[in-house]
Amino acid sequence: MAIFDVFNGDADGLCALHQLRLHYPCDAALVTGTKRDIALLDQISAQTGDSVTVLDLSADANAEALQRLLDAGVRVTWFDHHSVALPTHRLLRATVSTDAYVCTSVLVDRQLDGRYRHWAVVGAYGDNLPQSARVLARSIKLPTTQRHALRRLGTLLNYNAYGDHVNELIIHPAELYQRLHTYVDPLMFVSVEPVLRQIEAALKNDLQQALSLPVVRVSGGRMVYLPDAPWGRRVIGTLANHLARDEPILAHAVLVPSSDNAWRVSIRAPMKPGTGADQLCRQFSGGGGRAVAAGIDALPDAERPLFIKAFEQLFAPTAAS
pLDDT, tens digit, 9 for 90 and up, residues 167-196: 999 999 999 999 999 999 999 999 999 999
At 241 the pLDDT is 87
Does residue 214 carry a pLDDT above 50? yes
Amino acid at 222: R
At 83 the pLDDT is 64
At 84 the pLDDT is 66
What band does 319 get if pLDDT is binned at 50, 70 and 90?
Answer: very low
CA distance 14 to 27: 16
Query: pTM to 2 decimals?
Result: 0.84
| Mutual angle of helices 11-23 and 117-126, in 10-degree steps | 170
CA distance 285 to 267: 15
Q: Where are the domains of the chain?
A: 3-195, 213-320
Does residue 240 carry a pLDDT above 90? yes
Kindly give, in sequence order, each residue whose CB lies less than 8 Å from that of residue 239, ignoring residues fewer than 6 positions away. Answer: 207, 210, 211, 224, 226, 254, 266
Backbone angles phi, psi at 172, to 5 degrees: -65, 135
CA distance 127 to 108: 14
Digit-coded pLDDT (tens) for 266-315: 999 998 888 999 999 999 998 988 888 999 989 999 999 999 999 999 99
Q: Work out the widest C-alpha separation in the chain, in whole angstroms.
A: 57
Least confident of 80-84, 121-125, 284-288, 301-305: 80-84
Tell me which CATH code domain 3-195 carries: 3.90.1640
CB atoms within 10 A of CB 17: 30
Does residue 98 carry a pLDDT above 50? yes
Over range 97-116, report the average pLDDT: 95
User: What CA–CA distances, in Å, run from 139 to 113, 133, 149, 163, 216?
Assistant: 12, 10, 17, 34, 40
Does residue 85 carry a pLDDT above 80? no
Kindly give, in sequence order, each residue whose CB lies less than 8 Å from that of residue 152, ignoring residues fewer than 6 positions away. Answer: 190, 200
CA distance 123 to 150: 9
Digit-coded pLDDT (tens) for 15-68: 999 999 999 999 999 999 999 898 999 999 999 999 999 999 988 889 999 999
What band does 231 get if pLDDT is binned at 50, 70 and 90?
Answer: very high
Please answer whether residues 312 and 253 qualify as being in contact, where contact means their C-beta atoms are separated by less than 8 angstroms: no
CB atoms within 10 A of CB 291: 17
Q: Average pLDDT of the chain?
A: 94
Over range 120-138, report the average pLDDT: 95
What band does 318 get if pLDDT is binned at 50, 70 and 90?
Answer: low
| Domain 213-320 part of CATH 3.10.310.30 | yes
